[in-house]
């Protein structure tokens, strides 16, 4: 992605102030690890085959299981599926004891995803993410429009039909709203879509650039980039619209804000010192503090839901990769190895991310580096955001 696309408004990015966390450490490239062997057995009932296929797809997305294991399995899984529910059982293969037996409702598809979440948690101790929704941009129609899907690639629907450039979708914390940038009125304005009713409203349309809007954790504010005062800076504004509050005053360009889970800080990109780097600043005011990444070009930061890490796109060996910094220790990791990887978005478990690579979307395990493509049937996909 070039910077004009990245900022949705032809902005050129770069660097900013201080130093966040401990001194820079050597980067670690995350390598793959052994997957847990699991036998997915009989899924009986009216929608059994459909449910089994979806369940396997969901577990595969995690990158943590071997579903083609032979006799040596850690767990076996069975289920009974109706149109409205799934009753599933997870059995420990060593003890032959059921560790999970539960009925899930909401229709066979959602019930299967709920079962996958519960089974994943039981087998790994990690929260599942298979009921998550992903909003993203696709240009397959000829225009960049906003789409919504289940994280496994199903239930796709097109949310916008603006027939112009639409970019940068971001969910509210409850997943009910999406903020995005659209040129529907001829300029880069910020809009909000209400997913329950399908209505959309324009909330920021100052002269110049309005872009990169991100909801605060309580949903009351948007952090965004505006150029209404001349330079391109960060502001906050009510999610209902209104007068903005300026957060930065630099000679550079600030963009792509992401809130800390407690709503007290914002991580963002600035080129105030020459090239794109990531900074953190209190929402209440004060200078930005550099997040060390061992790179002179780092963009698209996103704070993990548990507040412990920040993921980003980073230039490494001449390519765009997905990296992260653990805030407490300052440890930095390069999570991907090849290709043009960009726009990471955390799932709710603060372990798995969704990102874009050459028009496709992938799930990434930040611990093992395993990546799995999401098969959604669309091309030219970018800029995912996840409702956790």
User: Tell me: the pLDDT tens digits for 279-296?
Assistant: 999 999 888 999 989 898
Rounded Cα distance between 303 and 265, Å, is 10
Domain boundary among 89, 108, 124: 124
Strands 221-226 and 210-215: antiparallel
pLDDT exceeding 70 applies to what percent of the chain? 91
Distance CA 261, CA 305 (A): 6
Residue indicated by tokens 């289940």 = 150
- Asked if residue 70 and residue 111 are part of one domain, the reply reads yes
Is the pLDDT at 24 greater than 70, yes or no?
A: no
Q: Bigger pLDDT: 129 or 10?
A: 129
When pLDDT is averaged across residues 339-351 and rounded to a whole number, the result is 96
Q: What is the CATH number of the domain that holds 326?
A: 2.120.10.30
Segments forming the whole domain that contains residue 82 = 36-124
Is there a single domain that holds both residue 99 and residue 214?
Answer: no
201 and 94 assigned to the same domain: no
Q: What is the DSSP string of 340-369?
A: -EEEEEE-TTSSEEEEEETTEEEEEETTT-
What mean pLDDT comes out for the span 112-134? 97
CA nearest 223: which of 296, 146, 174, 281? 281
Residues above pLDDT 90, as percent of the chain? 84
Average the pLDDT over 309-324 and give the result: 94
Q: Are residues 224 and 258 in the same domain?
A: yes
Examine the fold and report which residue of 94, 124, 154 is the final residue of a domain before the chain moves on.
124
Count: domains in the chain: 2
pLDDT in tens, 183-225: 999 999 999 999 999 999 999 999 999 999 999 999 999 999 9
Whole-number Å distance between alpha carbons of 94 and 315: 46
User: Which pairs with CB-CB distance under 8 Å and at least 24 residues apart come from 154-163?
Assistant: 154/54, 154/109, 154/376, 155/109, 156/376, 156/377, 156/378, 159/135, 159/193, 159/195, 160/193, 160/200
Closest CA to 137 of 385, 387, 388, 382: 382
Helix or strand (DSSP H, E) at 5: helix 3-7
Give yes or no: residues 347 and 260 share one domain.
Answer: yes
Q: Which of 107, 124, 141 is the last residue of a domain?
A: 124
Report the pLDDT averaged over residues 49-55: 98
Q: What is the CATH number of the domain that holds 82?
A: 3.40.50.10070
**Residue 222, Cβ density class (10 Å: 0-12 exposed, 13-18 middle, ≥19 buried):** buried
346 and 272 fall within a common domain: yes
Residue 159: which residues within 8 A CB-CB, separation 6 or more?
Answer: 135, 145, 146, 147, 148, 178, 193, 195
* 45 and 162 inside one domain: no
Q: Among candidates 304, 249, 314, which has minimal Cα distance to 276?
A: 314
Whether residue 86 sits in one domain with residue 23: no
Secondary structure E strands in 46-84? 65-66, 75-81
Same domain, yes or no: 261 and 201? yes
């Amino acid at each position: 992605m070039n910077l004009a696309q990245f900022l949705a408004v032809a902005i050129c990015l770069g660097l900013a102030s201080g130093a966040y966390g401990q001194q820079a450490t050597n980067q670690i490239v995350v390598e793959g690890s052994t997957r847990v062997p699991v036998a997915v057995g009989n899924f009986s009932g009216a929608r059994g085959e459909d449910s089994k296929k979806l369940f396997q797809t969901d577990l595969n997305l995690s990158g943590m299981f071997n579903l083609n294991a032979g006799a040596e399995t850690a767990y076996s899984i069975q289920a009974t599926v109706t149109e409205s529910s799934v009753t599933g059982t997870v059995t420990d293969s060593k003890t032959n004891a059921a560790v999970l037996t539960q009925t899930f409702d909401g229709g066979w598809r959602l019930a299967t995803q709920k079962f996958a979440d519960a089974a994943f948690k039981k087998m790994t101790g990690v929260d599942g993410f298979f009921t998550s929704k992903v909003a993203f941009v696709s240009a397959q129609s000829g225009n960049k429009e906003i789409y919504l899907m289940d994280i496994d690639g199903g239930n796709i629907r097109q949310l916008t039909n603006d027939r112009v450039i639409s970019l940068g979708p971001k969910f509210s914390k409850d997943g009910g709203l999406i903020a995005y940038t659209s040129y529907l009125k001829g300029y880069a304005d910020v809009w909000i879509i209400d997913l329950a009713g399908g209505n959309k409203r324009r909330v920021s349309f100052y002269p110049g650039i309005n872009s990169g809007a991100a909801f605060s954790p309580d949903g009351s504010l948007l952090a965004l980039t505006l150029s209404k005062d001349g330079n391109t800076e960060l502001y906050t504004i009510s999610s209902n619209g209104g007068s903005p509050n300026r957060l930065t005053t630099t000679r550079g360009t600030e963009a792509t804000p992401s809130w800390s889970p407690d709503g007290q800080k914002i991580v963002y990109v600035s080129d105030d010192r020459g090239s794109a780097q990531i900074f953190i600043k209190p929402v209440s005011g004060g200078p930005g503090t550099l997040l060390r990444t061992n790179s002179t070009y780092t963009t698209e930061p996103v704070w993990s839901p548990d507040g412990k890490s920040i993921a980003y796109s980073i230039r490494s060996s001449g390519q765009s990769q997905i990296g992260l910094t653990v805030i407490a220790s300052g440890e930095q990791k390069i999570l991907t190895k090849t290709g043009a990887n960009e726009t990471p978005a955390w799932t709710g478990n603060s372990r798995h991310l969704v990102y874009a690579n050459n028009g496709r979307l992938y799930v990434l395990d930040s611990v093992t580096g395993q990546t799995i493509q999401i098969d959604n049937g669309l091309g030219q996909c970018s800029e995912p955001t996840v409702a956790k």
